Amino acid sequence: MTKRKKAGGVLDIAAVFLAVLAIVVAAPLLLSLVQDRTARALLRYLLYIVMAAVVLLACKAGKRPVFATLGFKKEAVGRQLLPALPLFAVTALIFVVIPMAFGVPKTVLLDRKPTDVSAIVLQVVHLMVFVGFTEELVFRGYLFERIKAVSGSGVWSAVVTAAAFGLWHFPGGQDFLQVLLTAVIGFIYGFARLKLKNCTTLSVALAHGLHDTFILVLSCILL
């Protein structure tokens, strides 16, 4: 890759990250304007759809193949789902089950408990379909593949996207420790993309959604 192409790639990567960062920064203000619970849920869904649109438009603008640029494979879809289970087990054990067993307060590890069944349903849809899929589409999909292409290093791509993933969560209200732990989870997903057979963006998206839903289920039971 020529220096000019690398410079263009870096600008492309920065533009996409800044676009999704702007969305998460604006989200609290936009959500504060909506009081109805269902409308707020729909607005959250819409914000994630806009994030997905950002990377799709970036693929189109760069005239790149969408599936490959977003880290998907068209063949053996069922096999791509298999790595999600061990990935989910690893993150759930390291970041939830083991800390809880060693006495870390539940309020630190878990999330707010939804108030009723409809709220739980909306949250599960939010976590599985929008949070898990869209965040991985952006970070372990587009950004991971583009950074790997520009830098020539999959490990470097895993590190950079993990750091960006953690930083992206900071405007959402996470403190420094939570941002750091989120970055570590992001690195695990990125490393899995490199090392696990048949591990694609679909795999880590499912693992991510399962991890967040597991926290929701524990919150409903234990809080």
Quick one: how far is CA 195 from the chain centroid?
Answer: 19
Distance CA 10, CA 15 (A): 9
Q: What are 163-178's pLDDT values in tens digits?
A: 999 999 998 777 888 8
Q: What does the domain layout of the chain look like in residue ranges? A: 3-222
Q: What are 38-78's pLDDT values in tens digits?
A: 899 999 999 999 999 999 999 999 999 999 999 999 888 89
Distance CA 9, CA 14 (A): 9
pLDDT class for 95, splitting at 50, 70, 90? very high
What is the average pLDDT value for the chain, to the nearest integer? 94
| 51, 168 Cβ separation under 8 angstroms | no
Residue 89: is its pLDDT beyond 90? Answer: yes
pTM of the predicted structure, to 2 decimals = 0.94
- Encoding tokens for residue 119? 């709220």
- Encoding tokens for residue 128? 């599985």
Distance CA 182, CA 57 (A): 27
| Cβ-based neighbour number of residue 26 at 10 Å | 12
- Encoding tokens for residue 75? 């063949």
